[in-house]
Amino acid sequence: MFTLPIGDHAQLRPLEPWQAQEFLDHIDRARPLVDPWIPWATFSADLESATATLQRYADRLAQDTGRIYGIWLDGTLVGGVMFTRFDRESGTCEIGCWLEPAGEGRGLVTQAGRLLIDWAFTERGMSRVEWWVTPENKRSIETARRLGMTREGVLRRRYPYRGVRRDSEVWSVLSDEWPPPADTTADATANADKAELDRLMRDLFGAFNTIGGNRPNLDIIRAVFLPQGSIIKNVGDTTLIYDIDTFVESREKILTDGTLTEFSEWEVAERTEMFGSIAHRFSDYGKSGFREGEGWFEESGHKTTQFIRTPEGWRIASLAWDDDPAIGA
């Protein structure tokens, strides 16, 4: 049996039917994460069905139509990667992955995926490696992106699972695109992360817009923040610390009771720094509108925003703001 290292204390090696009990124990730990996306995880519910899952892949290995490999971290099976399809005649194959919580945050699936792609291209002469994913599975999509794949499109309602027909996104990388330059892959990931942070901030600023009788959409606040997030107003001698619900309630009131009308705010400039799964952004911003009793106003200020990457994507953990001396709302 071969063993390949994939980082500190982790190994990639074949996953075979005789390991069914270990596989079942692992799938039970991983089930909350993988059940929504991977049908065979649902089907591997006891020792007999887990053995059958691994036997199917053993049969595909014998026919050269598929393969499955486990990822062991410190001697414990924590995930895996596989060729779900391997078509020698067409030169096309598909890879997939799964992971339990104990294996997260180490890049294990990405490293293992690169080994499979490299083997398919350099050893087997494949032309195309695909990655099929449900659009809601954001983790899997991020892995495809880190592997240098390109999103090609969506097949709508492609397959039924648990009584619901699911869409499939198709990602791929071609042999003449492999290996992607290391800096290009890193840049692509960084650019995608930056684009997501930009979107979060656009959504955040847009949530307060009441121009032209528009109603503010403050549910966006709950969508872009962590549930445990905090928002701090530190203007002049006043410091107010809000949780998400209290902040939404306070803004809902002043934006709908006539206190602020024709109101909007926007980002003027920003500086963003990212490191792994955390990020910080310092923003200059402007705002304008009618304030009850004072007429039209135009003001500016500054926001500092902290982000963390979650399994569902980037979210805001905290935000604090100060206004330039015409003190605003």
Rounded Cα gap, residues 58 and 206, in angstroms: 53
Assigned domain for 143 exists:
yes
Give the per-residue pLDDT at 123.
95
Could you tell me the CATH number of the domain that includes residue 112?
Answer: 3.40.630.30
Give the per-residue pLDDT at 104.
81
Which residue among 125, 152, 180 closes a domain? 180
The answer on 124 and 74 residing in a single domain is yes
Residues in the chain where the model's pLDDT stays below 50: 327-329
Could you tell me the CATH number of the domain that includes residue 254?
Answer: 3.10.450.50
The answer on 150 and 25 residing in a single domain is yes
Torsion sign, CA atoms 169, 139, 129, 81: negative
Q: In the chain, how many domains are there?
A: 2
The answer on 201 and 142 residing in a single domain is no
Which domain covers residue 280, as residue numbers? 192-323
The answer on 292 and 210 residing in a single domain is yes
- Residue 53 φ/ψ, nearest 5 degrees: -60, -50
Torsion sign, CA atoms 135, 141, 145, 149: negative
Give the per-residue pLDDT at 182.
65
Which residue among 118, 146, 180 closes a domain? 180
DSSP-assigned letter for residue 1: -
Give the per-residue pLDDT at 67.
97
The answer on 158 and 233 residing in a single domain is no
DSSP-assigned states of every residue in 25-63: HHHHHHHHHHTTT-HHHHH--SHHHHHHHHHHHHHHHHH
pLDDT tens digits, one per residue of 123-165: 999 999 999 998 888 888 888 988 989 999 999 998 888 788 9
Assigned domain for 328 exists:
no
The answer on 170 and 252 residing in a single domain is no
The answer on 259 and 147 residing in a single domain is no
Rounded Cα gap, residues 149 and 273, in angstroms: 25
The two structure tokens encoding residue 329: 């709302």
Give the per-residue pLDDT at 327.
43
Beta pairing, strands 76-87 & 313-323: unpaired
